[in-house]
Structure 1
Amino acid sequence: MIRILISAVLLLLARGDDSFFLAPLEGKQGPELALILVQGASCPVKGYKPVGEAIQKASPFKVWVGVPQHLFDLAEFQFEAKVNDMLKQMENAGMKAHHKVMMGHSLGAVQSQFYAAGSGQGKIDALVLTAGTVLRKYRNSTKLPPTLTIDGDLDGLLRITRQAEAYFHQVIKVGGADAPGLDRPVVLLEGLDHWSFSSGDRPSNVKKNDIQPEVTMEAGHAMIGEVVADYMSSLFGSDEEKAAAGTKIVGAVKKTGELVEPVLAALHLEGYHYLNPPCNSDYPTNPTCQYARYPDKSLLPPAGPPKPMPPADCTCGSDWVANTAASIVAGFEETPASQAKLVTKDAFHDVSDVRPFHLPHIFEPQPGTACSDPSTCFINATTVSMPIYDFKDDFDTGLWPVTASEFRTKFKSREALQQAAGLKDVNYTATDELNTEICKSINQAAYDWALKAASSIARDRFLKHGQPLVFVEDKKSGFGPRGPTWIHDALSFTPSQDKKAVAVQSHYFPLKNKKLGDVPFIQTVGYHYCKLLSPARAMEWIYVDGLKEFYGTRNDQIQIVV
């Protein structure tokens, strides 16, 4: 078997490769630059010739473009040797490059970062990541050279939600697009997809996962060429060229900020863990949270403080749960408590944690009491949420959803909240036990919010080509050998037979209230647990996943929209 594998490898090597380089265009002035394009997985190198030519055309410099082919068309193999060989070939052809830039596409963008931060550290002067992004592991690293991230807003393999995360860290947190010394700009180009950075037939994985471009290949390459050329001029040009090109890059970054603004708003509502890490209310570090712990008791020795402790700007909980979902659970509308004020704070915890227990609670009015006048009542309550993230996102490829697949959220029940507000004759059977609408209503609200908050272009595209979400009645969870099954009864997404819609169903778990909640914490009373759709997951569905069935490139019969 080993001999067969060796023979196969030798045969591939003997076959030669399709590596090539492009000499600078005639009439170009300024310094000579070497631009090494690193192929994506299974992406033929010949497909990068048009984009290389577009960069040469847009740049005022003498740009040498080298495109090495790696073994099996995978940049993991022979990376440094192939790069060095390509540079040598261009030098033998007369190249005298003043600067070296590496531009990686897709997986090539990943491997380029490994090289730049490893054996290639100090050997290249800039990175350009196309249909890629700065890996989270390098977010705070100083090992990478100045790095441009450039992608399309319709990239189905490195989704806009992941690029919005990149924009938050690489642009917003360092002071914005105008910040002096912005060395990791993020630029998204409207209408481009993952394959807009190459040409020819799409590899199978790209075809399976990408979204239709809305810009022709030629126009897309011209757009890419302009941005890459401006970026190189902003780094290596004369003072005048640097200023002019820098202004254009700033403009492109600002426009990107407008593109990702709705997505970032949704991520903030979720409390997305890769913007700011979640707080731990047992060991508060963010003074703005002011989350009251309940019951703050444990049957076993409590777990110690997290290591490291969350930063002072950690995320307290989900604003969506605290400010919208909790009010829907209360259901004060069209009751005498319609003018009551409910203030809720949410905290992130594992809902299975018992060291200590974390339970929702009504602090005001005090347990055992109720407001005398529902119309003027003030209620101070807490909720507990556990966002669930797909483990595949740990690979940081951007292919899989990055937002929470569900919230496991514990609320005080509608019965408990309405009783605390002073409403009389609250019927638990109607408010909670057989109420299959509470969680559904919250999830419908998340979807409605996302549709309204999305850009008009994204919303219209989705409404025309996407799979709409429809919300069905909540399903009551029961008890299993290990207790309530609600924890592991996942929020479900079920496509219709014709795939033209996807039904979303939540699981709920209610518990009757007693004595206005004035019982020991070990008696579980007055709760309503829900599986919730995050507004960020709804937004990600509108921008990415909900488009792939009917607007993706997987369908041979689809005509590319231009």
Structure 2
Amino acid sequence: MLGLICFLRVTLAFLTILAASESVRTTILEPVRATGEEVGLVFIPGAYIKAEKYRKTARAIQEATELRVWVALTGEYSYNLVNAKEMRQAIETSISELKKAGMTSEHYVGVGHGWGGFYLQKNAKDSKLKALVLMGSTISRTTSLRDFPIPVLTLAAELDGVTRITRIAVEYEKLTHNTTSFFKRLYRTPVIYIEGANHAQFASGELRPKLKSADLEANVTEVQTHREIGKYLNAFLTVTFSSDDSQIDEALDQLSDAFLRSVKKFQPLLDVRNLDTDGEESMWTILAQEYFAQEYGDRVAVSNDILENPWFFGREPTISFNDDDMIIGTTALIHSEAKSNGIKLKTDMESPLEIDMKLVSKEAIWKALVGENDTSLKSEPNTCKSLNHLALILALCVSSEEARERYLSQGRPIILENDAMRGANILWAPTSLQMWEDKAGLHVRSMAMVTSKHHFCKVMSPYRALEWINVDSLRVYTLLG
């Protein structure tokens, strides 16, 4: 009986979508220029956003370019959420309506915001679209920008709490990978961010409560954001479609300048991410061991292996010698959330949940290097909490001056709690780093195990601290999170 009810519900929902697909509407905005090469923009809205909310964005684009830009605003999707079937119909209808209104070129460009952008990039190759603009959205993780069949502009907002800046950094990395064709990709698939803007400002007005609670407060006005959107779309559309060499040269310069500015934002994020795991070793674990060595650091060389269980559970850190130098072998276990390649209303965090480290204790280093009787250089050992503090300091140093100021003046802080001690590996291994959020901030408590030889720590990733500083600390806290 339950199976029949479930079947009927699914069938009813499917039939509702089929019937509702007839209700998708297209509004045509005619160009503001009387002359110029024609381009048609087809807007696919974000979650729960009506078509009219993009009218100001569209007008800013039309006014920013010498191209003759037509616009089709699509809306009234089922449940105010874009789906593949309705979107394909909306694109076809928009192209037909643009032709009826007087557009004569075939230069059609899909402009997708958030949820709409995720669907748009999945269906673009089977449409008549010649280029894409993704606003607060990305192509899928498993798709290379280099291999995407049509040009793509990925336009990010620095304070986007829905599609976070660290997710856009992944797309920037795709752009810079393989330098042999870098400049061609820079102009064909640019990744650019708008300073101080948020997710809502790609449209106009406020988001629905669920998305509004995820988004961050913008530091610039809606008008300023729309002006920036117009500037970057003009450059991208001009490079892609214009035949005016002087306009193309100017647009190429704008894209180059935007890229150089974006490097300063995205590359530090990726550099900190790569501390967690870079190939087969965790540089963060190596730095942690060197930090624990303190005054003996110049006599210690550290290596690391990233392992999975059960191998991590059974491995202990090692000490060996090469002449007078101590060689320490450490291990790390990286706990990462599975990253979604599908469509979500809110993107995942990019950073690991925690990093488990098996380190040599300060006491073991001291005994191996100077012996039991020499206490002249022996200092107090560090704690796992001190590694969390080091991760926080590193994240603050790497963040931009503006991001640090926002965090210190507006954000909820990271609160470092004292270590929770465990007496044996079998008790330490199954416990997790404790991280919980409340109105005061993000609390972090490490799980630690200390012996005369070993110091085991479950600690916060520097990248997790960086994401908190730049994104999550700026959200208004609610009991529902």
C-alpha offsets along residues 384-409 of structure 1, whole Å, 9 cap, x if unaligned?
11111122545585622111111011
Distance of 2:18 and 2:174 partners within structure 1:
45
Q: Please tell me whether residue 500 in structure 1 is matched to residue 457 in structure 2.
A: no
> Taking every aligned residue pair, what percent have the same amino acid on both sides?
25
Equivalent in the alignment of 1:317: 281
Asked whether the equivalents of residues 32 and 61 of structure 1 are also in contact (C-alpha less than 8 Å), the reply is yes
Equivalent in the alignment of 1:349: 307
Q: Looking at secondary structure, tell me which structure has more helix per residue.
A: 2
Equivalent in the alignment of 2:5: none
Asked whether the equivalents of residues 291 and 297 of structure 2 are also in contact (C-alpha less than 8 Å), the reply is no
Q: CA deviation at 1:484?
A: 1.3
**How many residue pairs were aligned?**
466
Asked whether the equivalents of residues 45 and 113 of structure 2 are also in contact (C-alpha less than 8 Å), the reply is yes
Equivalent in the alignment of 2:144: 139
TM-score, length basis structure 1: 0.76
In structure 2, list runs of 5 or more residues that go unmatched: 1-7
After superposition, the Cα gap between the structure-2 partners of 1:456 and 1:253, relative to the gap in structure 1 and judged at 3 Å, is same
Runs of 4 or more consecutive aligned structure 1 residues displaced over 6 Å after TM superposition: none
1:257 equivalent among 263, 274, 297: 263
Q: CA RMSD in A?
A: 2.9
Distance of 2:181 and 2:207 partners within structure 1:
35
Distance of 2:184 and 2:356 partners within structure 1:
39
Asked whether the equivalents of residues 171 and 185 of structure 1 are also in contact (C-alpha less than 8 Å), the reply is no
After superposition, the Cα gap between the structure-2 partners of 1:13 and 1:78, relative to the gap in structure 1 and judged at 3 Å, is closer
Q: CA deviation at 1:175?
A: 6.2
- Pairing of 1:277-426 with structure 2 (within 5 A): 315-322=279-286, 324-330=287-293, 332-333=294-295, 338=296, 340-353=298-311, 358-364=315-321, 377-391=324-338, 393=340, 395=342, 399-424=347-372
Q: CA deviation at 1:143?
A: 4.0
Q: CA deviation at 1:196?
A: 1.0
In structure 1, list runs of 5 or more residues that go unmatched: 272-277, 279-314, 366-370, 372-376, 513-525, 556-562
- Pairing of 1:144-543 with structure 2 (within 5 A): 144-171=149-176, 173-174=178-179, 178=183, 182-238=187-243, 239-271=245-277, 315-322=279-286, 324-330=287-293, 332-333=294-295, 338=296, 340-353=298-311, 358-364=315-321, 377-391=324-338, 393=340, 395=342, 399-424=347-372, 437-478=382-423, 484-495=426-437, 499-512=439-452, 526-543=453-470
Q: CA deviation at 1:99?
A: 1.0
Asked whether the equivalents of residues 351 and 408 of structure 1 are also in contact (C-alpha less than 8 Å), the reply is no
1:61 equivalent among 55, 63, 67: 67
Equivalent in the alignment of 1:548: 475
Equivalent in the alignment of 1:300: none
Q: Which moved more, 1:43-52 or 1:93-102?
A: 93-102
Distance of 1:6 and 1:316 partners within structure 2:
47
After superposition, the Cα gap between the structure-2 partners of 1:147 and 1:542, relative to the gap in structure 1 and judged at 3 Å, is same
Equivalent in the alignment of 1:88: 96
Q: CA deviation at 1:46?
A: 1.1
Find the residue that maps to 1:538 and give its secondary structure.
helix
> Which AA in structure 1 matches 2:407?
F
Distance of 2:14 and 2:348 partners within structure 1:
35
Q: CA deviation at 1:203?
A: 1.8
Find the residue that maps to 1:162 and give its secondary structure.
helix
1:74 equivalent among 64, 74, 81: 81
> Which AA in structure 2 matches 1:364?
F
C-alpha offsets along residues 292-345 of structure 1, whole Å, 9 cap, x if unaligned?
xxxxxxxxxxxxxxxxxxxxxxx23122221x2002323x43xxxx47421112
Distance of 1:11 and 1:211 partners within structure 2:
36
C-alpha offsets along residues 450-486 of structure 1, whole Å, 9 cap, x if unaligned?
112211100000001111112222111256xxx7132
Distance of 2:186 and 2:400 partners within structure 1:
30
C-alpha offsets along residues 423-442 of structure 1, whole Å, 9 cap, x if unaligned?
31599xx999xx7x511111
Distance of 2:416 and 2:181 partners within structure 1:
39
Q: CA deviation at 1:6?
A: 7.3
1:25 equivalent among 32, 35, 45: 32
